[in-house]
């Protein structure tokens, strides 16, 4: 009976992963998709714990350790997820992704130790290296899974630290050359261990482990700013691939399926984000766009002139008598937790006969879909969220654009200034609208660390202040009209 139930449980788990991933593609079904995948994962875990047997017919055992880990992890994960602010969601995703990479790394280390302990007795029988008795496929799976998991773990932790401000950008001249050399040495040692199986394999294995961790740190350190969402997506795909190697290692179909889905989805998302930024992945990893080496006003900035401010009353009047308004949300909206106030403004304007939509840039915020999730939390109708291309098509007929905390994704330098580090990145072309109102706390540059010439253009007016407070005051002004 077990021979039927266990594979069936794995099949159910794999199918629910696929269905759940499909449902995540739309906000209306995303929550249910998450639950469907979680149920499938639970079934697969319980089936493995209680029904799995090895070649000798032995069950797992160690239930105290297993359920102790499950309970502790569940409690910590639940509390962390409930307490995290929406602005901190990208760093939590990066941290959780790092834990997945660490898991894959530890699995490889444990399995390597398991298969090499006590091998000395087999030395003479093997007719050479004591490690030649380990099947080639198993050996490759262990070492490659360890390398990928280590890079994902170390890189994700650095990304987490950079997103929450605890780790600063760090780079030096020739760092990319050093990184490439380090990657080359890791690759060469890995191939040598797998092919030659030398007597010092244990020492070389842990040497590669240390170098992979160092590479994960070094390759993320110089990357910052607007490229961080791409890096998070890339590291997520690494974790998925490492998990798939774990599925090969244990001959576990559901683990293999989950890893393949995460790896392929992360890779596709990385490619799409690079396309949205009009940059190659190589340029992202080597160019260090938005890294610590950028300074405010650097990278092609020039004397901008002066900006003009607009009052709350004038802003409310301008929006109330408009026929079409486009709201462009950014990280500043998330920081201020202003999504509910924004939705209230939208509803009030629509009551006055104004058509209101939202322009969503693919890399707005700190991770893919950040703005979509933020606005969905405030029950903003999904059909009001216009992708960049649709928003740009409607821009010439838009009377007022209200930019809430967005910066780099509306910077005209991406189109007009070849010397700018963001040149070539597609943007929301707000300057084509009749009026542009920018809400910011100050004139500080955005995440990419460069000045935004939009703020100094004739059509643009600055509305300074916390996004939530400004929106609440706008609502109050509109209600009095």
Query: Which residues have a Cβ under 8 Å from the Cβ of 49 and sit 6 or more positions away?
Result: 60, 63, 66
Residue 239: CA count within 13 A, CB half-sphere: 26
147 contacts 212 by C-beta, under 8 angstroms:
yes
The alpha carbons of the chain give a radius of gyration, in whole angstroms, of: 26
Pairwise CA distance, residues 274 & 271, whole Å = 5
Pairwise CA distance, residues 200 & 130, whole Å = 10
- In eight-state DSSP terms, residue 120 is G
Q: Tell me whether residue 379 is one of the annotated catalytic residues.
A: no
Residue 464 tokens read as 């300074």
- What burial class does residue 459 get, using C-beta atoms within 10 Å of its C-beta: 0-12 exposed, 13-18 middle, 19+ buried? middle
Alpha helices in 305-338 (DSSP H): 312-320, 331-335
248 contacts 256 by C-beta, under 8 angstroms:
yes
User: What are the E-state strand segments in 283-384?
Assistant: 324-329, 355-360
- What burial class does residue 448 get, using C-beta atoms within 10 Å of its C-beta: 0-12 exposed, 13-18 middle, 19+ buried? buried
Whose tokens are 């209200």? That residue is: 402
Catalytic option among 408, 416, 466, 473: 408
CA distance to 50, 51, 229, 236, per residue, from 39 (Å): 17, 18, 28, 22
353 contacts 219 by C-beta, under 8 angstroms:
no
- What burial class does residue 460 get, using C-beta atoms within 10 Å of its C-beta: 0-12 exposed, 13-18 middle, 19+ buried? buried
Bridge partners, 461 (sequence order): 437
Query: Which residues have a Cβ under 8 Å from the Cβ of 4 and sit 6 or more positions away?
Result: none
Query: Other CB atoms closer than 10 Å to residue 268's CB: what's the count?
Result: 12
Bridge partners, 328 (sequence order): 403
> How would you list the strands of the sheet with 324-329, edge to edge?
385-387, 355-360, 324-329, 400-404, 435-440, 460-464
Catalytic sites, residue numbers = 408
């Amino acid at each position: 009976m077990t021979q039927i139930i266990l594979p069936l449980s794995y099949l159910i788990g794999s199918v629910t992963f696929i269905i759940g991933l499909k449902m995540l593609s739309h906000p209306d079904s995303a929550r249910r998709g998450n639950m469907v995948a979680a149920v499938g994962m639970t079934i697969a875990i319980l089936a493995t714990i209680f029904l799995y047997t090895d070649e000798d017919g032995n069950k797992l055992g160690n239930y105290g350790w297993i359920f102790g880990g499950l309970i502790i992890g569940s409690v910590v994960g639940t509390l962390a997820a409930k307490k995290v602010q929406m602005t901190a969601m990208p760093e939590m995703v990066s941290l959780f992704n790092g834990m997945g990479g660490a898991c894959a790394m530890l699995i490889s280390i444990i399995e390597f130790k398991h298969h090499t302990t006590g091998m000395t007795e087999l030395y003479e029988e093997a007719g050479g290296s004591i490690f030649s008795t380990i099947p080639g496929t198993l050996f490759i799976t262990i070492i490659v899974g360890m390398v990928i998991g280590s890079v994902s773990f170390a890189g994700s932790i650095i990304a987490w630290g950079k997103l929450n401000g605890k780790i600063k950008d760090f780079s030096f001249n020739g760092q990319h050359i050093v990184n490439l050399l380090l990657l080359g040495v890791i690759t060469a040692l890995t191939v040598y261990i797998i092919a030659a199986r030398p007597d010092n394999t244990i020492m070389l294995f842990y040497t590669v482990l240390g170098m992979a961790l160092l590479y994960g740190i070094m390759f993320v350190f110089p990357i910052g700013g607007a490229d961080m969402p791409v890096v998070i997506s890339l590291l997520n795909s690494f974790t998925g691939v490492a998990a798939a190697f774990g599925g090969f290692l244990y001959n576990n179909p559901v683990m293999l399926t989950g890893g393949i889905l995460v790896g392929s989805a992360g890779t596709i998302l990385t490619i799409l984000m690079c396309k949205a930024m009009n940059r190659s992945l190589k340029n992202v990893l080597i160019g260090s766009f938005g890294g610590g080496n950028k300074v405010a006003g650097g990278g092609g900035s020039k004397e901008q002139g002066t900006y003009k401010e607009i009052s709350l009353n004038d802003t409310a009047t301008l929006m109330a008598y408009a026929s079409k308004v486009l709201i462009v949300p950014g990280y500043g909206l998330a920081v201020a937790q202003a999504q509910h106030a924004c939705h209230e403004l939208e509803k009030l304007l629509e009551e006055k006969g104004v058509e209101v939509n939202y322009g969503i840039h693919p890399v707005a915020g700190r991770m893919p879909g950040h703005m979509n999730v933020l606005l969905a939390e405030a029950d903003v109708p999904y059909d009001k969220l216009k992708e960049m291309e649709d928003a740009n098509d409607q821009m010439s007929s838009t009377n007022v654009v209200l930019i809430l905390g967005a910066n780099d994704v509306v910077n005209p330098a991406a189109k007009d200034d070849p010397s700018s580090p963001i040149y070539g990145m597609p943007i929301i072309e707000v300057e084509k609208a009749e009026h542009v109102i920018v809400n910011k706390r100050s004139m500080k540059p955005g995440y990419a660390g460069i000045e935004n010439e939009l703020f100094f253009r004739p059509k643009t007016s600055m509305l300074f202040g916390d996004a939530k407070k400004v929106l609440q005051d706008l609502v109050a002004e509109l209600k009095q009209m």
